Amino acid sequence: LKSVGPKLVPFFKTVSIFFVLFGEESHPSIFYCIVKCLPIISLMLFVLLHGMSLNEYYRYARYILIGLFFSCLGDAFLVYKKYYFEVGILMFAIAQIYYSRAFGWRPFNPYAGTVFLVLGCIVYSYIKDGIDDYVLSYIVGCYVALISTMAWRAVAR
């Protein structure tokens, strides 16, 4: 952790800068979009600085990097959520798929999978009543399933 911690300082600084500048407010502007994406970009640089190659040893890092790329796109699209909400959610969904692929399927750990399945169902049942749009309700359900799968694979690893 000592060697990793200092390399994460840019991430923590960019998160702090974002919240100092904007707090909980949302400003659909290019500047807001750039500042919002900076923490993810700093994590992408962190992954790249740890080394990258096409061989199997770096498969995890490649998938995490691809996931971060789609997370960054998701953040950018959600800045303009009035027009691109569904596209932003799709970008985050693709990111979750790549994170799950990075964590792999071994060990399988069905116990952890069951726990996250139940937690995902509880979360979805709690939030679905607040969603009036049928299509959005379906999208949110799929997204909860993807996040639950990613969390299961991360814990099982």
- Within 8 A by CB and 6+ apart from 59, the residues are 102
Q: Using CA of residue 60, residue 65, residue 67, residue 68, what is the dihedral sign?
A: positive
User: Where is pLDDT greater, at 58 or 118?
Assistant: 118
Round to whole Å and give the CA distance between 67 and 118.
25
82-122 pLDDT tens trace: 999 999 999 999 999 999 999 999 999 999 999 999 999 99
Q: Identify whether the C-beta of residue 67 lies closer than 8 Å to the C-beta of residue 95.
A: yes
Per mean pLDDT, which range of 89-93, 136-140, 141-145 is the poorest?
136-140
The alpha carbon of 131 is separated from its chain's Cα centroid by a whole number of angstroms, namely: 22
pTM as predicted: 0.92
